Amino acid sequence: MEISKNEVMTLAEVAEYLRLPSSTIYKLSREGTIPAQKLGKQWRYHKDAIDDYLKGAKNKIIT
């Protein structure tokens, strides 16, 4: 899967990109945990927003 930085991804593409089940991405989207926009009945994600979210989440991990 080739994804450019400014690409808009579907829920399935984000699930594949993050290697998580689609149901988890759907739940995180509904909760507002992961940056997403709902267009009608479809969720859409900007790759750069997902990458920024991951960078921010990485800084919040406490071991």
10-residue block means of pLDDT along the chain (63 residues)? 74 96 97 95 96 80 48
Number of other residues whose CB lies within 10 A of the CB of residue 28: 17
41 is a domain residue: yes
Host domain of residue 49 = 8-59
What is the count of structural domains for the chain? 1
Asked if the structure places residue 33 within a domain, the reply is: yes
User: Could you tell me the strand order of the sheet in which 8-10 lies?
Assistant: 8-10, 42-46, 37-39
Decide if 44 is inside a domain: yes
Q: What pLDDT, on the 0 to 100 scale, is given for residue 56?
A: 85
Could you tell me the pTM of the whole model?
0.79
